[in-house]
Amino acid sequence: MPTYYKVVTKIPDNKYVSAIVSGKARVEYKIGKYAMSPEWLLKNGYGLLVFDTIRNAKIFKGHNDKLFTCKCINKLPLKKRLSFIILRKGLDIFSSEQKGNFPEGSLMFEKVMLLEEIKDD
């Protein structure tokens, strides 16, 4: 089974959430449990973003973000990136608001499980 990498943000109460998106698109992650893309995104073919290599994940990772190895289920085709307004508000106007490509090495899956945190060097 290949190793994938997930970038998340740690918030109060030791919770991990989506690194970039907020609002209705935000996903909460628990170590050792599968998280799923919100239904409204999944029905339009958008899953959870992970990276193919640790290098690509580290390029994407912000200063306060955390990096985990992860286990993934049901790979989805990578589509064009959505605007942050659509993601935050949960708007269902996908065709006119696609905004380019995802970062290098991005992969998309229906379900993602955080396994082990990779500490900074």
Whole-model pTM over 0.85: no
When divided into structural domains, the chain yields a total of: 1
Q: Residues 27-54: pLDDT tens digits? A: 999 999 999 988 888 887 888 999 999 9
- Alpha-carbon distance of 47 to 95, in angstroms, equals 17
pLDDT of residue 96: 42
Report, as ranges of residue numbers, the positions in the chain whose pLDDT lies below 70: 80-101, 121
Strands 28-29 and 34-36: what pairing? unpaired
Query: In this predicted structure, what is the pLDDT of residue 80?
Result: 62
Between the alpha carbon of residue 63 and those of residues 7, 58, 80, the distances in Å are 11, 10, 25
Tokens 């082990």 correspond to: 116
Q: Give the separation between CA 70 and CA 114, rounded to whole angstroms.
A: 5
The residue range of the domain holding 101 is 4-118
